[in-house]
Amino acid sequence: MNIYQFLAEHSIEYERVDHPPVFTCEEAEQLVPPMPGTDTKNLLVRDKKGRRHFLVVVRYDTLVDLKSLSRALGVSNLSFASSERLKKYLGIEPGAVSLLAIVNDIESAVEVILDADLWKARVLRCHPLVNTSTLAIRRSDIERLLLITSHRYTVLPVPKITRQHEEA
């Protein structure tokens, strides 16, 4: 799917910056030029049996507590999806995980989980299916994209690991 064609066809406006490839949030912080919006982190996770897949979208500096999120979603043992599953369900490579990748999930097999704190932002920053550009898109247009692609989404306070807990 050509993401720019999709955005144009649906009149979804964006601001774009190009930059060197980024594979982590820390690299993005260093290499992505300033632009409007809130940086996002996107995690593709699956339940223990691999029957359900979730794209978890949080602020870039959030450490997600997968054990607590598993309980909140009523599923067993969430874990990170493999690069093969990333390619199969979202059509992207590791390092380019993005909320925009749901356009490639034509069967709506991936459930989208949006952190309530992040969802308060007016503008979100997302990779356009590659990690060499970043787009700033209004939250209202992201919500429209979710509806256009028929993706179920849930806004909830995603359980977080605190820095203090991480160091313990």
Domain that holds residue 32: 3-155
pLDDT computed for residue 168 by the predictor: 46
Whether 19 is in a domain gets the answer yes
Whether 54 is in a domain gets the answer yes
Where b means 16+ CB within 10 Å and e means fewer, 32-57 reads beeeebbbbbbbbbbbeeeebbbbbb
Whether 161 is in a domain gets the answer no
Q: For 35-85, how does the pLDDT look when each residue is reduced to its tens digit (9 = 90+)? A: 999 999 999 999 999 999 999 999 999 999 999 999 999 998 999 999 999
pLDDT computed for residue 138 by the predictor: 98
* For range 86-104, the mean pLDDT: 94
pLDDT computed for residue 163 by the predictor: 64
**Using 50, 70 and 90 to split pLDDT, how confident is the model at 161?**
very high
pLDDT computed for residue 142 by the predictor: 97
**Using 50, 70 and 90 to split pLDDT, how confident is the model at 164?**
low
pLDDT at 21 over 50: yes
pLDDT at 154 over 70: yes
Q: How far apart are CA 168 and CA 149, in angstroms?
A: 42
Whether 162 is in a domain gets the answer no
- Provide, rounded to the nearest whole percent, the portion of the chain with pLDDT above 70: 96
Number of domains in the chain: 1
Q: Which residues does 115 contact at the CB level (< 8 Å), separation at least 6? A: 56, 57, 58, 59, 62, 155, 156, 157, 158
Mean pLDDT for all residues in the chain: 93
* For range 151-166, the mean pLDDT: 84
* CATH number of residue 106's parent domain: 3.90.960.10
Q: Which two tokens stand for residue 74?
A: 């009523």
